[in-house]
Amino acid sequence: MDTRIWTPLSRREIAARIASDIPNGWYVNLGIGVPTLVADEVPEGREVVFHAENGLLGIGPAPADADIDPWLINAGKQYVTLRPGGSYFHHADSFAMIRGGHLDLCVLGAYQVAENGDIANWATSENDTAPAVGGAMDLSVGTRRVWVAMNHLTREGEPRLVRDCTYPLTAQASVDRIYTDLAVIDVTARGFVVAEMIAGMTLEQLQAMTGATLHMPEA
C-alpha cells in the first residue's frame, strides 16, 4: 500500500518554482533540460536577461517556424529569438561573463549534488567513452549562484542528494540551492537545509530519499 499523499512536481512546475525565485534584473544562464523551461516561466513584469554560452545576451522565446533565423541559436543548438536590448559577442567575451562572476545565476541539471555543494553533472563514470563537458565547469565555478534542477531520485530510485559524489565532479563546493520534484534545498555550511517541501511531504519521508542528512532552517 502506497501511503504517499503527495504528487511530485512536473518538469514545468519545477521550472516555474525556480523562475519565481529569480528577481527582476538578474543575468541568468540556463542549462539544457528543465533549466531551459525556466525562461518561459518568468513572472509577468520581471525582466530577466538570459545568456547563452555561444555569445548571446537577452534571449527571447522560441520563434514560430515562419520566424526562424537560422543564425540565431542558443547553446543547446535550438532556434531562439533576441529581445530588444539583446547583444552578440564572441566566445571569449561570453565566458568572461561566466568566469568573471558577472552572471547572477546559472541553473543546471545534475546527476548528483553533495552536501558540501560539489556537483557532478557531466560524466557518469571515470571511463565514459567520448566524454563531453561543454561549459558546465565554467558555469559551476564562475557564476555568482548555482541552482540545480533535478529529480530527487534517479530512475533507479537512488538519491541524487548525497554525502559525497560518486560520479566525476564538475566543480567543488559550488551549488547554492537545489530544486527537485519534491523539495527546495539550500546548500549551507551546515549541509543540506530544507527550505520547502511539496504539500503532503514529511521531513522523514524526504530524508528517506536523500543520501545525506537534511536539516531544518534555524529559527
Partner 1 sequence: MIDKTVETVAEALSGVADGATFLLGGFGAVGQATHLIEGVLETGIRDLTVVANNAGYGQVGLARLLKEGRIRKLICSYPRIVGSTVFEELYRAGRIELELVPQGTLAERMRAAGAGVPAFYTPTGAGTRLAAGKEVRHFDGRDCVLEEALSGDVALIEAWKADRWGNLTYRAAGRNFNPVCAMAARMTIAQTQHLEPLGTLDPETIVTPGIFVDRVVHIEYGSPRL
DSSP code string of 66-126? GG--TT-B-TTS-B-EEEEEEEE--HHHHHHHHHTT--SEEEE--SEEETTS-EE-S-SST
* Secondary structure element (H or E) that encloses residue 185, with its range: strand 183-188
- For position 138 contacting partner 1 by CB under 8 A, the verdict is yes
Strands 161-162 and 112-114: parallel
Complete edge-to-edge strand list for the sheet that includes strand 112-114: 119-120, 112-114, 161-162
- For position 61 contacting partner 1 by CB under 8 A, the verdict is no
**CA–CA gap between residue 93 and residue 15 (Å, rounded):** 28
Nearest distance in Å: CB 116, partner 1: 11
- For position 43 contacting partner 1 by CB under 8 A, the verdict is no
- For position 88 contacting partner 1 by CB under 8 A, the verdict is yes
- For position 96 contacting partner 1 by CB under 8 A, the verdict is yes
Place of cell 549534488: 113
- For position 145 contacting partner 1 by CB under 8 A, the verdict is no
Site for partner 1 in 3-32 (CB under 8 A): 24-25, 27
Binding mask 178-217 for partner 1 (x = CB under 8 A): ----------------------------------------
Active site residues: 53
Q: Which is nearer to partner 1, 99 or 145 (CB)?
A: 99
Tell which one of 2, 3, 44, 71 touches partner 1 (CB under 8 A). 71
Tell which one of 64, 66, 92, 199 touches partner 1 (CB under 8 A). 92
- For position 87 contacting partner 1 by CB under 8 A, the verdict is yes
Checking phi first, is residue 191 left (phi over 0); if not, alpha (psi -120 to 50) or beta?
left
- Alpha-carbon Rg of the chain, whole angstroms? 18
Strands 56-60 and 49-52: antiparallel
- For position 100 contacting partner 1 by CB under 8 A, the verdict is yes
**CA–CA gap between residue 89 and residue 54 (Å, rounded):** 8
- For position 33 contacting partner 1 by CB under 8 A, the verdict is no
Q: Which residues contribute to the site for partner 1 (CB under 8 A)?
A: 24-25, 27, 45, 47, 49, 51-58, 69-75, 77, 79, 82-92, 94-103, 126, 129-138, 141-142, 168-172
